[in-house]
A and B are shown apart, each in its own frame.
Chain A
């Protein structure tokens, strides 16, 4: 395949632009990544970044409530938005004919969103239903992304629940929304990505036409969320009234991808060697040989790889029968990590995992939506969309020694251990097993 060209520009108001022409597709993707995620939301307002994401769909100066959805879909397109640790994205994928409309829609809400009390109250209700659906009314809700961080981290930005507490969502005010928008949604704090069958100059002209007159505002200082890594194991048990089986999650700190990318990728491949596929170490040992767990997985990054700045979390999660002592699971994981820390993976074992990564990357790149979001997020977080393009080659270059070092670093540092206990154990303290 020919190399994928990336074209960059910055408007006078500070908005960064990334254009990615691809003449092979009849559709176009438009995404705005804003440099604020749930780590930046104020104390006392947990869940606000996500709630605010919902408000950005509620209309803007030129668009009544409901108009955003209707215009995107009535132009043949799809849309969504999502809130992550360090960024919030908004995007559409549409037939190329609707490119200018998509730019218009994104510009209108970045310039003048319609923030009203009525829409705020309505979306608080909708978000509460989203949380009931994904967390409160199901087993393993928020496992591990909500439950693990408070065990591993001490500071509010890293530890708190990004979906939010109901009481704090209910207290959210219109003035909170105005302050949040003015502070974080400055054009200089956002990045626009356009990918598809586009002419670079013509598209730049359209972007200038629609976004160019958004006044510049000061961009917020990006705070450091650094905090010391735990020196020891921290353990916490939480009850889950809906869960039929216990579950556990391990959390470890990982290298900063913006300054130690190769070390980070060593951890990414460690996650694969541990848990990706039937031949992976933990699958063979814990699922099949020892029969300790029903399922096990590992991930470099709480919400995906290369999806956050520092600090971020390496997770190992498992569901296991109630008859299995969780310490036996931990012991087996530690032994497998020790083995990798002592001898590293075999070269062909690693090659198979990097082949799977490369294929997975191609698979993602085959959809305009995922390719656009991958490029846009890496550009916003690390200033280098190229990371997404280079990933297969960089992973193929990771050596067994780097994976060995990653395993050793997990074993030498503190960690979080979260135990999910089934059946609402907290309400049954009088009953001993």
Chain B
């Protein structure tokens, strides 16, 4: 066993001695030069079926990344619990059977080429995402075509996945972050379909197999969907493969896009009671800008200064000065027709009210005490550098291209982004902060033991 203990300091230096050297503090070296590695060209083709295919050559490893995005909104203007439950079951049985393959055969075929596919659904879209050895891409496309055109959602699989889904929902809803997310979505979007991200167990239990099959026939369609392929591949050749292999995936109507939700309500933060919680979730939100808005780059920099990265005012205050939290951050989330800011942190119960106070203080401060040139320049370098890092992998590039395409933006927008960030002035950042971060613009929720935190929270005001 080690002999190091707190009470026998013999043989080691003091903390003070450790922190000093005879030479004294040294100067930070200057930045050098980063080689330019251009983003690959993205070949884009819309097939006769309406499926948009985007392919890019990125041979860093002998792999290929796949992102299929199908708009998958509920039919009406209000949340539809039955649709949400069916969509979730459709997602969990998509890879479990076709006339030619069962669950195991599908997975065996993917595994043989080192591939994995994962299916996920949310109020906006159904996504099939994965990767595999590049040489096996035709195999993966073959499996994908089979499940898109001929998935049977077998009765037995529906029965078993229904049980599992009910169990998984129980587990998910025991997570404080899920409780907070659901409360925030209700608070922000009311009864709009975007608010309903996870079905209720009772609605899942009521879903019948033929309802899932009917939803598949109606909603798993190529028109308006996109397929992104990035990797050690020839874009033209892979698009020809897609045309051939997925050519039979057709429909007489396009996929259903989610309608824009109503504007965020202004006003009070809702306190959600979670008895006995030892930690509280603070979630605040206000309207923001979409990427295509000319002020977006300025808003992005203002957000970084506030809480968009570790070296931000929120983290330096709430974590590194006060020790209230392990994490605090702010960011922009895109929704149909708009965007919302989110500010979040989790704090010990006894400092919940002080943490909300400091969060509102930092929102107010960034509004009226504009980010300094040093803060803006650091945020700018981070925005440009972290973009470079995030795009330096097949998966990062594929995910970004898929998300941008859903908003009607392409790789050229990505290519120009560093230039646009460079062009933002300090005044534009101050203006964005003034317009978007005023504390009174924010609604939100606090999930906490209300008996423990209610009084001091209400004393701060603005708490429903």
Enumerate chain A interface residues (CB-CB to B < 8 A). 1, 24-27, 40-45, 60-62, 65-66, 69-71, 73-79, 93-101, 104, 108, 111-116, 121-130, 132-133, 136-140, 156-157, 171-184, 197, 213, 220, 223, 241-245, 277-279, 284, 287-288, 291, 294-295, 319, 321, 348, 351-353, 355-356, 358-360, 362-363, 365-368
Contact = CB atoms under 8 A, between A and B. Distances in A.
A244 B174 contact: yes
Interface in B96-145: 96, 103-104, 106-108, 110-116, 131-133
A360 to B, nearest CB: 8
A363 B31 contact: no
A114 B20 CA distance: 8
A129 B34 contact: no
Nearest to A136: B278
A23 to B, nearest CB: 8
B237 interface: no
A137 B278 contact: yes
B382 interface: yes
Interface in B342-366: 346-348
B191 interface: no
B419 interface: no
A155 to B, nearest CB: 8
Given A180-B4, A291-B163, A96 B34 contact: yes
Contact of B31 (A98, A175, A367): A98
Contacts of A104: 26, 28-29
Contact of A358 (B29, B114, B316, B394): B114
Given A42-B5, A363-B131, A244 B171 contact: yes
Contact of A125 (B34, B168, B277, B323): B323
A95 B32 CA distance: 9
A62 B20 CA distance: 9
B455 interface: no
Given A73-B386, A74-B377, A74-B378, 5 more contacts: A75-B381, A76-B385, A77-B385, A78-B389, A126-B325
Contacts of A73: 309-311, 378, 381-382, 386
A279 B175 contact: no
A178 B31 contact: no
A99 B30 CA distance: 10
B63 interface: yes
Interface stretch (B9-17, B285-293, B330-338, B399-407): B9-17
Contact of A182 (B13, B133, B167): B13
Pairs of residues from A and B, 7 with the lowest C-beta to C-beta distance, nearest first? A76-B385, A359-B114, A125-B323, A74-B378, A352-B111, A182-B12, A278-B107
A295 B17 CA distance: 52
Interface in B148-199: 160, 163-164, 167-168, 170-171, 173-176
Interface residues of B, number: 96
Given A178-B18, A319-B171, A97 B176 contact: no
Chain B CB count within 10 A is highest, among A178, A181, A321, for: A178
A61 B24 contact: yes
28 contacts: A25-B37, A42-B5, A62-B25, A74-B311, A77-B389, A78-B389, A94-B389, A95-B389, A116-B19, A129-B279, A133-B346, A137-B346, A140-B171, A175-B9, A175-B15, A176-B4, A178-B9, A182-B18, A197-B35, A244-B171, A279-B111, A294-B167, A319-B167, A351-B112, A358-B114, A359-B114, A359-B131, A362-B133
B352 to A, nearest CB: 12
B61 A366 contact: yes
A174 B322 CA distance: 19
B319 interface: yes
A130 B396 CA distance: 27
A398 to B, nearest CB: 15
Contacts of A213: 23
A111 B21 contact: yes
Nearest to A359: B114
Interface centre among A108, A291, A355 (most CB of B within 10 A): A355
Interface in B243-286: 276-279
